[in-house]
C-alpha cells in the first residue's frame, strides 16, 4: 500500500511541477521581450521596481525566473543593486498567487482546462497561440497533479504514525523550517512545496501549527535558484542573490517572533480564513507582504548591509546611455551636444577594449576576457540607444548645420562600434593562439608593441579632440594614421622575410598578420572619426 501511495504522490507532484514549469515557460515566451523592456525602462523609482517585481512574477508565475532574470540584468549592468532589490521584494509577493489559486477547490475543472489547452496547442499554427495553449495546458496539469496528490494521501488519514510524524513540526518549529528549506531547495520551486502542503492539509493530515514553520522554511529555500544563477557572475549580481536570501531570512525572523515569542499565531490564523488550505495560502501571502512592508521603507539601508556583507568591485560598467534625455529632443542643438558627450564615453570604453585586447595577448587571464566582453556588450547597447536617439532628433525640423552635424555624429557612433569589434577580434585571436600553443618571436612581439602604442596614441589624440569639440587635432590624427600605415607595411614586409628564412612558423604568422590587420583597421576608423569631428 505504502509503495503505491509513494508513487502516486510523487507522480502527482511531478505533474504539478511540470504544470507550473510549462505555465511559467509558456507565459515567459509570450511576454519575455515586453517584460525585459518594462523592467529595463520602468526602474527609475523605488516603488516602480516593487510593482514590476509583483507584475512580472504574476505574469510568468515564477519568482525564481524573475529572480534569475533580475540577476541577469544586474550582471549585464542594465539595472542597479537597489533596483534589483525592489524587483525581488515584489517577486516574493507575486509568487503567492500560485498558492492562492491552488488553495481554491477547482480540481473538477482540471480536465476541461487540459482539453482546451491541448486543443489550442495542437490546432494552432502560430507560435503565439501555441504558447497560449501550452500555458493553459500547464495550468490544467497543475490542478491535475494536485488532485492526484490529494487522492493518494487520503488513506494516510488512518495511519496514526504518519500524523504523529507531521505533528513533530508543530512541537519543534525549527525542524519544520529546516524541512521546508531543504524540500524547496531540492524541488527548486516554492509553489511545489506549498502545493504539497495544501494537498496534505486538504486531507486533514497536517495541522496549521505544523504547516507554518514549513512555510517559513519554504520561503528561504526558494532563494536557492537565484544563488545558483549568480555563480560566475559579477559582484553586484551576487549581491542581488544575497539580498533575496537576506529578505527571506528577515521574514523568517519576523514570523518566528510573531508566532513563537509574541504568541500572535492564533490571531494571524483567525484572520487567514476558515479552511486549512486557505489559511496556508494566506499566511504565505502575509509572510511576503509583511516582510516587504518592513524592509521596503529602509531599502537604502538594506542595500548598504548587503554591500557590507559582500564587499568588492565589479568589472562591469553601466550599459545604458547616461546623457541622452528624451526631453532634450525638442531642442536639437542641446540634444546633439549630449550625443557628443555620450560618444566620448563610448570612445573611452572602446579604447579600454583595445588596451585589454593587447594585454590579453600576453596575459592568460579570464578576468581580462570578462572585462573586454562586458564592454563589448556595453558598446552595442549604448550605440543602439544613440542611433535611436539621433533618429528621433532627425524627425524634428533641422537647419542645414544641425542636419549635417547629426549625420556625422551617426557616422562616429558606427565607427566607434566597429573599432570595438576589431578589439574583440584580437581577443579571439589571442585565444586561438593559446589553444594551438603558438608562440610569437621576440621581433614580432616588439613590432606588435610599437604598432599598438601608435594606435593607442592616436586614440588619445582623438578623445581629446572629441572632448573639446576641437578640429585642431585632425591634422595630427592624419599624421599619426600615416605613421601606423607605414609601420604596418614595414611589419608585413619583415614578416614575409622571416617566413622565407624559416624564422617563424606559418600558423603563428597567420595570427600575427591578422592582429596587425585589426590594428590597421582601427587606425583607419579612428582617422575617419577625426574627419567626422571636423565636418
Q: What is the pLDDT of residues 497-507, one digit of tens each?
A: 888 877 777 77
Of 23-27, 107-111, 398-402, 487-491, give the lowest mean pLDDT range: 23-27
Closest C-alpha to 167, from 221, 103, 213: 213
The answer to whether the pTM exceeds 0.85 is: no
**Better pLDDT: 446 or 502:** 446
Average pLDDT rounded to a whole number, residues 173-189 = 85
Q: What is the DSSP string of 309-352?
A: HS----S----S-SS--GGGGGSHHHHHHHHHHHHHHHHHHHHH
pLDDT category at 473 given cuts 50, 70, 90 is low
For position 354, what pLDDT does the model report? 93
Contact indicator for 145, 17 with CB cutoff of 8 Å: yes
Residue 442: count other Cβ atoms within 10 Å of its Cβ: 7
Window from 69-83, 122-136, 250-264 with minimum mean pLDDT: 69-83
> In which band, very low, low, confident or very high, does the pLDDT at 28 lie, cut at 50, 70 and 90?
low
Considering the chain, what is the average pLDDT of its residues?
Answer: 84
Q: Which residue has the higher pLDDT, 237 or 469?
A: 237
Of 336, 232, 250, 316, the closest CA to residue 287 belongs to 250
Q: What is the pLDDT of residue 409?
A: 92
Domains of the chain, residue spans: 2-309, 326-534
Upper half-sphere CA count for residue 135 (Cβ side, 13 Å)? 18
Q: Note the pLDDT of residue 39.
A: 57
Give per-residue pLDDT as tens, 325-378.
888 888 888 889 899 889 999 999 999 999 999 999 888 877 788 888 888 888
Q: Quote the pLDDT of residue 78.
A: 65
Looking at the chain, the whole-number percentage of residues with pLDDT higher than 70 is 89
Does the pLDDT value for residue 36 go beyond 80? no
Q: Where are the alpha helices (DSSP H) in 61-109?
A: 63-75, 81-94, 96-103
Q: What is the mean pLDDT of residues 141-160?
A: 79
pLDDT digit string, tens, across residues 280-317 = 999 999 999 999 999 999 999 999 999 998 887 766 67
DSSP class of 93: H
For residue 190, what pLDDT band results from cuts at 50, 70 and 90?
confident
- SS in 3 state form for 458-525? HHHHHHHHHHHCCHHHHHHHHHHHHHHHHHHHHHHHHHHHHHHHCCCCHHHHHHHHHHHHHHHHHHHH
Place domain 326-534 in its CATH homologous superfamily.
Phosphate transport system protein phou homolog 2; domain 2 (1.20.58.220)
Q: What is the pLDDT of residue 58?
A: 81
Q: How far apart are CA 347 and CA 306, in angstroms?
A: 33
Given a cut of 70, whether residue 109 has pLDDT beyond it is yes
Q: Give the DSSP letter of residue 44.
A: S
Q: Is the pLDDT of residue 167 over 80?
A: no
Residues 6+ apart with CB under 8 A from 527: 458, 477, 478, 481
Lookup result for grid cell 587606425: 523
Amino acid at each position: 500500500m505504502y509503495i503505491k501511495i509513494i508513487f502516486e504522490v510523487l507522480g502527482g507532484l511531478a505533474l504539478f511541477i511540470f504544470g507550473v514549469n510549462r505555465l511559467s515557460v509558456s507565459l515567459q515566451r509570450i511576454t519575455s521581450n515586453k517584460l525585459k523592456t518594462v523592467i529595463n525602462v520602468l526602474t527609475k523609482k523605488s516603488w516602480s521596481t516593487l510593482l514590476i517585481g509583483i507584475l512580472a512574477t504574476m505574469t510568468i508565475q515564477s519568482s525564481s525566473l524573475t529572480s534569475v532574470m533580475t540577476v541577469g540584468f544586474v550582471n549585464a549592468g542594465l539595472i542597479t543593486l537597489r533596483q534589483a532589490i525592489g524587483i525581488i521584494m515584489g517577486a516574493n509577493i507575486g509568487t503567492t498567487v500560485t498558492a492562492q489559486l491552488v488553495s481554491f477547490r477547482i480540481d473538477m475543472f482540471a480536465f476541461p482546462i487540459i482539453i482546451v489547452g491541448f486543443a489550442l496547442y495542437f490546432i494552432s499554427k502560430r507560435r503565439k497561440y501555441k504558447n497560449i495553449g501550452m500555458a493553459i495546458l500547464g495550468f490544467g496539469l497543475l490542478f491535475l497533479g494536485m488532485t492526484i496528490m490529494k487522492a493518494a494521501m487520503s488513506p494516510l488519514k488512518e495511519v496514526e504514525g504518519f500524523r504523529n510524524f507531521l505533528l513533530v513540526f508543530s512541537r519543534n518549529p525549527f525542524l519544520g523550517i529546516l524541512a521546508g528549506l531543504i524540500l524547496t531547495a531540492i524541488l527548486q520551486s516554492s509553489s511545489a512545496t506549498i502545493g504539497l502542503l495544501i494537498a496534505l492539509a486538504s486531507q486533514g493530515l497536517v495541522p496549521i501549527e505544523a504547516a507554518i514553520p514549513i512555510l517559513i522554511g519554504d520561503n528561504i529555500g526558494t532563494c536557492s535558484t537565484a544563488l545558483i544563477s549568480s555563480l560566475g557572475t559579477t559582484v553586484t549580481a551576487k549581491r542581488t542573490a544575497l539580498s533575496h536570501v537576506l529578505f527571506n531570512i528577515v521574514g523568517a525572523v519576523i514570523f518566528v517572533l510573531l508566532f513563537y515569542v509574541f504568541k500572535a499565531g492564533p490571531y494571524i490564523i483567525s484572520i487567514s480564513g476558515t479552511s486549512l488550505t486557505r489559511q496556508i495560502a494566506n499566511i504565505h501571502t502575509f509572510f511576503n507582504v509583511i516582510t516587504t512592508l518592513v524592509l521596503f521603507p529602509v531599502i537604502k539601508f538594506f542595500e548598504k548591509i548587503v554591500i557590507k556583507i559582500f564587499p568588492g568591485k565589479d568589472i562591469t560598467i553601466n550599459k545604458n546611455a547616461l546623457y541622452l534625455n528624451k526631453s532634450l529632443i525638442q531642442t536639437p542643438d542641446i540634444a546633439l551636444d549630449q550625443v557628443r558627450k555620450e560618444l566620448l564615453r563610448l570612445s573611452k570604453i572602446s579604447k579600454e577594449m583595445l588596451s585589454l585586447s593587447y594585454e590579453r595577448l600576453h596575459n592568460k587571464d579570464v578576468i581580462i576576457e570578462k572585462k573586454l566582453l562586458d564592454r563589448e556588450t556595453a558598446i552595442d547597447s549604448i550605440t543602439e540607444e544613440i542611433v535611436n536617439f539621433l533618429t528621433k532628433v532627425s524627425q524634428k525640423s533641422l537647419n542645414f548645420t544641425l542636419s549635417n552635424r547629426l549625420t556625422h555624429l551617426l557616422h562616429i557612433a558606427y565607427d566607434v562600434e566597429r573599432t570595438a569589434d576589431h578589439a574583440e577580434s584580437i581577443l579571439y585571436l589571442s585565444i586561438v593562439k593559446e589553444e594551438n600553443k603558438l608562440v610569437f618571436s621576440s621581433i614580432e612581439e616588439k613590432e606588435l608593441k610599437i604598432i599598438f602604442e601608435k594606435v593607442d596614441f592616436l586614440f588619445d589624440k582623438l578623445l581629446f579632440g572629441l572632448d573639446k569639440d576641437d578640429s585642431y587635432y585632425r591634422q595630427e590624427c592624419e599624421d599619426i594614421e600615416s605613421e601606423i600605415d607605414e609601420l604596418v607595411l614595414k611589419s608585413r614586409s619583415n614578416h614575409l622575410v622571416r617566413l622565407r628564412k624559416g624564422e617563424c612558423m606559418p600558423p603563428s604568422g597567420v595570427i600575427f598578420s591578422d592582429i596587425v590587420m585589426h590594428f590597421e583597421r582601427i587606425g583607419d576608423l579612428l582617422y575617419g572619426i577625426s574627419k567626422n569631428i571636423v565636418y
